[in-house]
């Protein structure tokens, strides 16, 4: 049975899962969830994802949610095909990978999600952005990206010399903030700019941007 991704094609974290499936050459079927009509908040949906969020996958009856968990599962299940070592196996390389994943979680995601919430999600709900909060978020993100520039000045990717899930996790919300919303935070950070150009040029990501 083909892997089913339940979600909406525009949802950033649905696109993340699609991207990793493509990296690993895993065919998938996107089963549309009408998020704009609140389908993900219905009891029927919550049977599968109790938090009422997308995506979740159905892998031949095995249900899994939380996009980063799904990505790890796909990367490990199909370790021997597609882009290699998206989750490294050597114990020290794996530890540095986990450090990089945690860096994205704590030092990138909260800020890019916050900016997206203020500028896009609130707009959809007819609310005005909180400008003070937005300013805070952007300033914090800048400070964090200064550190990224140091790290990426010493190595090609966040976990070392090869691309891993830790880099790919930045794609969905990074694209929204740097490209769609046009926050030009990379110009003064040449190493981050180099890394961002590299990961956003991956054929798997370009394919998902065209059509998840």
181: Cα separation from own chain's centroid: 17
Per-residue DSSP letters for 59-88? ETTEEEESHHHHHHHHHHHTTTSSSTTSS-
Using the minimum distance from each CB to other proteins, give the nearer residue, 47 or 187. 47
121/129 Cα distance (integer angstroms) = 9
- What contacts 38, CB < 8 A, 6 or more positions away? none
List the x/- string, 99-138, binding to other proteins by CB under 8 A.
x-xxx-xxx--x----------------------------
95 binds other proteins (CB under 8 A): yes
Beta strands in the chain (DSSP E): 3-7, 28-32, 56-59, 62-65
Question: Which residue's CB is nearer to other proteins, number 22 or number 144?
Answer: 144
Cα 95 from Cα 88, distance rounded (Å): 9
Q: Which of residues 152-211 bind other proteins (CB under 8 A)?
A: none
Residue 75 or 212: the one with the smaller Cβ distance to other proteins is 75
> What is the spatial distance between Cα 176 and Cα 173, in angstroms, rounded to a whole number?
5
Of residues 36 and 51, the one with the C-beta less far from other proteins: 51
In whole angstroms, the minimum distance from the beta carbon of 186 to other proteins comes to 18
- Per-residue binding letters, 46-65, with other proteins (x by CB under 8 A): x---xxx---------x-xx
Find, among 75, 94, 91, 85, the residue nearest to 26 by Cα: 75
**81 lines the binding site for other proteins (CB under 8 A):** no
Q: Which stretch binds other proteins (CB under 8 A): 23-31, 68-76, 186-194, 201-209?
A: 68-76
Q: Does 73 bind other proteins (CB under 8 A)?
A: yes
Q: Report the alpha-carbon distance of residue 49 to residue 44 in Å, rounded.
A: 9
Binding site for other proteins (CB under 8 A): 46, 50-52, 62, 64-69, 72-73, 76-77, 91-92, 94-96, 98-99, 101-103, 105-107, 110, 144, 147, 150-151
């Amino acid at each position: 049975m083909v892997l089913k991704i339940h979600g909406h094609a525009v949802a950033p974290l649905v696109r993340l899962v699609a991207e990793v499936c493509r990296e690993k050459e895993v065919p998938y079927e996107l089963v549309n969830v009408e998020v704009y009509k609140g389908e993900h908040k219905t009891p029927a949906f919550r049977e599968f994802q109790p938090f009422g969020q997308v995506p979740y996958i159905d892998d031949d009856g095995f249900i899994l949610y939380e996009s980063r968990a799904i990505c790890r599962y796909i990367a490990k299940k199909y370790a021997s095909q597609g882009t290699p070592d998206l989750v490294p196996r050597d114990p020290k390389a794996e530890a540095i990978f986990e450090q990089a994943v945690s860096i994205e979680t704590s030092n990138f995601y909260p800020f890019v999600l916050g900016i997206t919430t203020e500028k896009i999600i609130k707009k959809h709900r007819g609310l005005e952005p909180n400008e003070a909060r937005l300013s805070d978020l952007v300033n914090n993100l800048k400070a964090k990206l200064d550190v990224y520039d140091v790290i990426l000045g010493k190595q090609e990717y966040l976990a070392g010399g090869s691309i891993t899930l830790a880099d790919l996790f930045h794609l969905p919300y990074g694209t929204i903030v740097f490209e769609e919303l046009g926050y030009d935070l990379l110009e003064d950070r040449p190493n981050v700019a180099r890394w961002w150009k590299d990961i956003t040029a991956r054929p798997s990501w370009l394919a998902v941007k065209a059509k998840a």
